[in-house]
Amino acid sequence: MPATIIKVSNAAQLAAAIKSIKGGETILLAAGDYGAVSIVSRMLTSTVTIKSADPANDARISDLRIHQSSGFRIEDIDLNRPLKAGEADFTQAAYISSSNNIQLVGMDFRGSMDGNAKNDGVALRVTGSTGVSVTGSTFEQWSTAAWFADSKAMTVSGNTVTGVVKTFTFSGMSGTTVADNSFVGVKTGWAPAVDGVSFRNNVVSGIAEPASGKGVTIAVANAAQLATAVAGAKGGETILLAGGSYGDLTIKNKAFADALTIKSADGANDAVFTSIRVHAASGVVFDDIDVRRTLLAGEGDWTQSVYVSDSSRIDFVRTDFAGSLDGNTWNDGHGLRVDQSKDVRVVDSTFEQLKVAASFSNSSGIAVVGNSVTDVREGFDFAAVQKVTIAQNRLTGFDPNYAAGDHSDAIQFWNAGVNKGSSQVVIRDNVILQGANGGTQGIFIGSEVATARHSDFVIENNLYNGDARHGISIYAVDGAVIRGNTVTSAPNGYLEAGININGSAGVLVENNITPLLLQDKFNSGVTLRGNVDLWDRNYKTGLTLAQVFDTPAGGLFAESSYVAKGASGFHGFDGIGASSFDLQSFKGSAEVGALLQTLHIA
Q: Considering Cα of 374, then 599, then 529, then 414, what sign does the dihedral take?
A: positive
Nearest to 462 by CA among 321, 572, 347, 334: 572
Residue 258 burial by CB count (10 A; 0-12/13-18/19+): exposed, middle or buried?
middle
Output the pLDDT for position 245: 96
Domain boundaries, the chain: 1-60, 81-210
Output the pLDDT for position 194: 63
Contacts of 491 (CB under 8 A, 6+ apart): 556
| Separation CA 120–CA 145 (nearest Å) | 10
Output the pLDDT for position 244: 95
Side chain identity, residue 560: S
- Spell out the SS3 assignment of 269-311: CCEEEEEEEEECCEEEEEECCEEECCCCCCCCCCCEEEEEECC
**Coil/strand/helix, residue 463:** strand
Are the C-beta atoms of residues 542 and 556 closer than 8 Å to each other? no
Residue 481 burial by CB count (10 A; 0-12/13-18/19+): exposed, middle or buried?
middle
Are the C-beta atoms of residues 290 and 246 closer than 8 Å to each other? no
| Separation CA 195–CA 238 (nearest Å) | 12
Residues of the chain with pLDDT under 50: 189, 191-193, 552-557, 566-574, 580-593, 595-602
Residue 155 burial by CB count (10 A; 0-12/13-18/19+): exposed, middle or buried?
middle
| Separation CA 49–CA 29 (nearest Å) | 11
Please tell me the pTM assigned to this model.
Answer: 0.65
| Separation CA 503–CA 431 (nearest Å) | 26
| Separation CA 388–CA 459 (nearest Å) | 12
Are the C-beta atoms of residues 98 and 66 closer than 8 Å to each other? no
**Coil/strand/helix, residue 594:** helix
Strands 100-105 and 133-135: parallel
Output the pLDDT for position 218: 85
Are the C-beta atoms of residues 517 and 482 closer than 8 Å to each other? no
| Separation CA 212–CA 8 (nearest Å) | 43
To which H or E segment does residue 593 belong?
Answer: helix 589-598
| Separation CA 212–CA 218 (nearest Å) | 10
Phi, psi of 413 (to 5 degrees): -120, 140
Contacts of 270 (CB under 8 A, 6+ apart): 243, 264, 288, 289, 290, 320
Q: Which CATH superfamily is domain 81-210 in?
A: Single-stranded right-handed beta-helix, Pectin lyase-like (2.160.20.10)
